[in-house]
Amino acid sequence: MSSSEQPRRLICCIGTGGTIASEPTEGGLAPTRQDTFFRRIRSHPSLTSPSHFDSSSVSFSSPVLTQQVGKNIRYPRLITPELDDQGTNVEYEILDLDRHLDSSEMTPSEWNIIASLVYENWDNYDGFVILSGTDTLAYTAAILSFLFLDAGKPIIVTGAQIPLSRPRSDGWSNIFDSLFVTGTLDFAGVGIVFNHQLLRGTRATKSSPNLFSAFTTPCVPPLINFNVKITYDQSYPLTTRSANRPPPLVPLLTSPSVLSIHIYPGMTGSLLEAQIEAVPTCKAVIISAYGSGNLPINEHSGVLLSLKRMVEKEILVVVISQCGIPNVYPLYTQGRTLLSIGVLPGYDLMHEAAFAKLIWLVSRPELTFKQRQELFETPIVGEMSK
């Protein structure tokens, strides 16, 4: 069957705000919730087929007929132009959250909303694109990776360094590539599409607020590079689409449950414990340590005793590296001493994936503390190498 005879895939694009949807305001660029964002996409020839509308009757200012879906808004369905040499086009709908936000304001509450929308609409679409701000984009991709473990459809998270409302926006190509991945490729799982690359959802970090290549996966290569020739990472075959449904959705804890503490010269056990005691709902702690996971564990610092007390209170304590290319293995005396008191090594986990994995674990009341420890050290969705 040729591409022209195959049914088009239908993609749901969930708009959360962020830079990509920002418009000029009196106070500067802000992710305002209005139909201007949809109008821009509807008018762009790379994202909407000219044959989809009668160009003589539809302009930028033409009315937009929306549908209220709970608190959210669904915009009219669009069809892309041909996305590949086989003439494949994709249909897609934009479902806008009731409140656009700067991604620095993203919390587990918003992740619950986004995950619920994907889960509730799983049977209605062939794939999902989450349009996000960039500051917490990698965190969003990481948590969705755990929540939709082994699910058989693609979920892509993307955004932009420059808004669609401004010249030179990279958002156009990021949306195009996201629709290409979700609409034409045999790919399943959670990924980040940015600057003509597909990255693993649990391996990425934001490495620049300025470069168009804002996201990198320091420990692994990109899954796909969209250059003149599309190239794939041969060492890590793509997960292909399947009939696998998502697992039962885990409602994430919305009270502060995972803390992150950066080690610096002069850190003491009393400083560590003061931060933990200030958050009674804390269930896990990420310690960003020096090098391969080294901490000041001499008796004078009191750090080792404080960490031991945390573990005794059944708080998950995880050590990751402050290095840009992390690698925490218990090779040195410090690391082996930490292991002996129940502190867990983060191996090559990025901070975003460590945070997401921990909140996913502590939000599951059926797990014992020991089970959470064991699962943390088990690779679940390709988030780490042991």
SS3 358: helix
Percentage, residues of the chain above pLDDT 70: 95
pLDDT tens sequence across 314-323: 999 999 999 9
**Spacing of C-alpha 282 from chain mean position:** 23
- Structure confidence at residue 161 (pLDDT): 97
Q: Taking the CB of residue 227, how many other CB atoms lie within 10 A of it?
A: 9
Q: What's the CA gap between 32 and 97, in Å, rounded? A: 11
Between 283 and 234, the higher pLDDT residue: 283
Q: Is 169 left (phi over 0), alpha (psi -120 to 50) or beta?
A: beta
First vs last Cα of the chain: how many Å apart?
Answer: 43
- Structure confidence at residue 55 (pLDDT): 53
- Structure confidence at residue 2 (pLDDT): 47
pLDDT tens sequence across 141-176: 999 999 999 999 999 999 999 999 999 999 999 999
Tokens of 253: 């804890």
pLDDT tier for residue 1 given thresholds of 50, 70 and 90 = very low
Closest among 377, 355, 385, 363 to 142, alpha carbons compared:
355
- Structure confidence at residue 52 (pLDDT): 66
Q: Is 273 left (phi over 0), alpha (psi -120 to 50) or beta?
A: alpha
Residue 182 pLDDT exceeds 60: yes
pLDDT tier for residue 335 given thresholds of 50, 70 and 90 = confident
**How much is the average pLDDT of 52-58?**
60
Q: What's the CA gap between 78 and 59, in Å, rounded? A: 14
Q: What's the CA gap between 69 and 117, in Å, rounded? A: 11
Q: Which of 47-61, 202-216, 228-242, 291-305 has the highest mean pLDDT?
A: 202-216
Query: Residue 237: exposed, middle, or buried by beta-carbon count in 10 A (0-12, 13-18, 19+)?
Result: exposed
pLDDT tens sequence across 19-50: 999 988 878 888 876 788 999 999 999 999 87
pLDDT tier for residue 138 given thresholds of 50, 70 and 90 = very high
**How much is the average pLDDT of 239-243?**
95
Could you tell me if 131 and 143 are in contact, meaning their C-beta atoms sit under 8 angstroms apart?
no
Residue 331 pLDDT exceeds 70: no
For residue 79, which amino acid is it?
I
Q: Which helix (H) or strand (E) holds 258?
A: strand 258-262
**How much is the average pLDDT of 228-257?**
94
Could you tell me if 363 and 252 are in contact, meaning their C-beta atoms sit under 8 angstroms apart?
yes
pLDDT tens sequence across 303-315: 999 999 999 999 9
DSSP 8-state symbol, 108: H
Could you tell me if 84 and 2 are in contact, meaning their C-beta atoms sit under 8 angstroms apart?
no
Tokens of 306: 């404080």
- Structure confidence at residue 269 (pLDDT): 95
Q: What's the CA gap between 70 and 75, in Å, rounded? A: 14
